[in-house]
Structure 1
Amino acid sequence: MSAEPLEIYLEEQDLGRSLREDVRLGLTATPKWLPPKWFYDARGSELFEEITRLPEYYPTRAERAVLAAHATDVAELTGAKTLIELGSGSSEKTRLLLDAFTRHGDLGTFVPLDVSVSALRQSTEQIAAEYPGLRVRGIVGDFTRQLDRLPTGGRRLVVFLGGTIGNLLPVERAEFLTAMRAALEAGDWLLVGTDLVKDPTVIVPAYDDAAGVTAEFNRNVLRVLNRELGADFDPAAFTHVAVWDPEHEWIEMRLRAEHPTRVRVLDLDVDFAAGEELRTEVSAKFRPAGIAAELADAGFSRQAFWTDPDGLFGVSLARAD
């Protein structure tokens, strides 16, 4: 069975408008910031895939270990008929769930949602070929904006993996989880992956690897702005920095200007002092009780919580009340 035509709720002009809005807001703020979603053009996605294979980057391996051990539990506990994946990318880890549902459930539909048309088209065709009995409906959308476009009916399981929820600030997380609950019906399910609080000597190298791949990934956002907005950043003039914030229990990726520089982007002249930093990502780390409380505040009750053998990464299975 071939994948169904993509349902597109996010056009190129929508992405362009969103990028311009973020740049105007972030580069005129004090301190300056950009949201991490702009890392992921084709080159950025390649670099991130490379990051996930680095020895320092534990989250992907740890989460995969959790899913390998407990995918059958997810299938048996939820009995889902429709599996929806937010920010699906290549859907690599989701195959562990699809395999489990194939063995133990009667899953009928898989719905990956992602902002990238090309990545989604490729992954949906691959999944449809690998799971011929499965209906595959790809949705091009932003999980912070298009949750109302999720398909209705049947018992649904929404999957949000990779620790991506940690890229949202606490207020944004609360808004997202509340919107997620509003998009679901009582008895639907949410599976969410969260990186856990641990010794910063383990966390920081995952965002500042010895080979410099993460540094290249971080600077890629400047290349995106140069290409898409005609900006004149010199990426080599910015140093990659990863900083653990013990108060908020998150890591920040930043780009530090090596010397005073002025950048022209849109209709703005943006000045950077020597040593000034541009925040490009926040990645929150969670405590098990904390994520349970955030889920409960949004109207979910956690039914199961699993970690990898080393306790690095947690996966919560919650039901919509």
Structure 2
Amino acid sequence: MNMKEDHHIVCIGGGTGLSTMLRGLKAYTDNLTAIVTVADNGGGSGILRREMNILPPGDIRNCILALAETESLMNQVLGYRFTEGSLEGQNLGNLFIAALNNILGSFELAVEKFNEVLAVKGRVLPVTVENIQLCALFDDGTITTGETEIVDQSKMKSKAIQKMYLEPDSPKAYDKAVQALKTADTIVLGPGSLYTSIIPNLLVCGIGDAIKQSTAKVVYVSNIMTQPGETDHYTLKKHIDVIEEYLGKGIVNYIIVNDKEIDEEVLFLYEEDGAQQVVVDLISNESRTVVRSSLAKINTEDCYIRHNSEELAKVIINL
């Protein structure tokens, strides 16, 4: 292990990819910060957002549960999703954060207390505490507002995402998120949806500048598979090109990619859904290092491909 105990790792993203990575990293260090997008408007989070006018708690909840020290009964309770009645599809952890928000009068305080309740290793922060909506301009000139709606529109094969932006324009980054980036030794982008988990964070005012001004190693963890509609036929280079469009060129200096062979039967299931393996078409040079590792992990129950959290953590720790 190359890292010192006080080495500060800051991970930026959202969705399943971020929480998976955090689950592995917590075995190595407590000095972890997750900066999480709050642009989600679907599922139980979307309902709470519309009906209670709070920021979406789902991705934040997942990250906090991932960083909890033990997989306790409390973890299971706060990760419980109702399957029937008026609460069908809603998550108890989301409701817990919503209750804290109402009691404390502040979403950021609610998240802070939720961190404390589970005694997490590290901390989880919203990228902003402003009520934002994710917007996409497609190459046919149409504009779609809302993360869920963008994902749905992206699956229409006749159109592709041309530009992402936020409404309202130029939301201010949460000050604790900016401070975390300023003190980071390693900053990790991804894994996760390029346009709906990573880019939304880079669109928040202050985040990109803090990354660019940092002396930290900046790491991108490549997705293993493309996402139907959003990143059809995107190679690794295309993913980096898009990130550099919003962050600036030459900022990412480490790229982590999977080199584990995936069974053809599993790939066929993904191809039926319109996804392909991300082709690694970049090599190391004087400004960046491409790190290959056996990262793909297949869930035997549903054949989903995920990053192996333990292996990914080892790679990051040893950069």
Which range, TM-score by smaller chain? 0.3 to 0.5
TM-score after normalising by structure 2 = 0.37
Structure-1-length-normalised TM-score: 0.37
Greater C-alpha Rg = 1
